[in-house]
Chain A
Amino acid sequence: MIINHPLLGPRDAAEFVYLGDACLIDRPDWQAEDAMERFHDYGYLRDNPAGEHRELWYHEQGDRSWLVVTRNTLTHEITHVELARDVARERGRDK
Chain B
Amino acid sequence: MRYSAFRIFMEGLTGNKGWKPAWREPEPKPEYDIVIIGGGGHGLATAYYLSKEFGLRNVAVLEKGWLGSGNIGRNTTIIRSNYLLPGNEPFYEMSMKLWENLEQDTNYNSMVSQRSILNLFHTDGQRDAFVRRGNAMFLAGADAELADAAQLRRELPFLDFDNARFPIKGGLFQRRGGTARHDAVAWGYARGADSRGVDILQNCEVTGMDIENGRIRGVQTSRGPIRAKKVAMCVAGSSGRVAAMAGMRLPIESHVLQAFVSEGLKPVLPGVITFGAGHFYVSQSDKGGLVFGGDIDGYNTYAQRGNLPVVEDVCEGGMAIMPMIGRARLLRSWGGVMDMSMDGTPFIDKTHIDGLYFNGGWCYGGFKATPASGYCYAHLLAKDEPHPVATQMRLDRFRTGNIIDEKGVGNQPNLH
Chain A residues with CB under 8 Å of chain B are: 1, 12-14, 18-21, 40-41, 43-50, 53, 55, 71, 73-76
Contact = CB atoms under 8 A, between A and B. Distances in A.
B334 interface: no
Given A55-B300, A73-B302, A75-B303, A48 B250 contact: yes
Given A1-B307, A73-B302, A48 B414 contact: no
Contact of A55 (B250, B299, B399, B411): B299
B398 interface: yes
Given A13-B307, A44-B398, A55-B300, 5 more contacts: A13-B309, A45-B249, A48-B254, A49-B244, A73-B300
Contacts of A48: 239-241, 244, 249-250, 252-254, 300
B298 A18 contact: yes
B301 A73 contact: yes
Contacts of B41: none
Contacts of A43: 342, 398, 411
B413 interface: yes
Interface in B250-264: 250-254
Interface in B219-271: 238-241, 244, 249-254
Contact of B309 (A14, A71, A73): A14
Contacts of B240: 46-50
B399 A46 contact: no
12 contacts: A1-B307, A12-B309, A43-B342, A44-B251, A44-B411, A45-B249, A46-B249, A46-B253, A48-B244, A48-B254, A55-B299, A55-B300
Nearest to A42: B411
Contacts of B414: 18, 20
A46 B303 contact: no
Contact of B342 (A44, A47, A76): A44
B398 A18 contact: no
A46 B413 CA distance: 11
Interface of A is mostly: mixed
A50 B299 contact: no
A75 B303 CA distance: 6
A46 B303 CA distance: 18
A53 B303 contact: no
Contacts of B303: 73-76
Contacts of A53: 300
Interface string B280-305: 00000000000000000011111100
Listed residue (A45, A48, A49, A74) with the most chain B CB atoms within 10 angstroms of its CB:
A48
9 closest pairs, A vs B, by CB?
A48-B240, A14-B309, A44-B398, A45-B249, A50-B302, A44-B251, A18-B299, A73-B301, A44-B342
Contacts of A20: 253, 300, 412-414
A50 B254 CA distance: 9
Contact of B241 (A14, A46, A50): A50
B250 A46 contact: yes
Nearest to A46: B253
A13 B249 CA distance: 28
A74 B240 CA distance: 14
A19 B413 CA distance: 9
Nearest to A40: B399
Nearest to A75: B303
Nearest to B305: A76
Contacts of A50: 238, 240-241, 254, 302
B299 A45 contact: no
Interface in B368-397: none
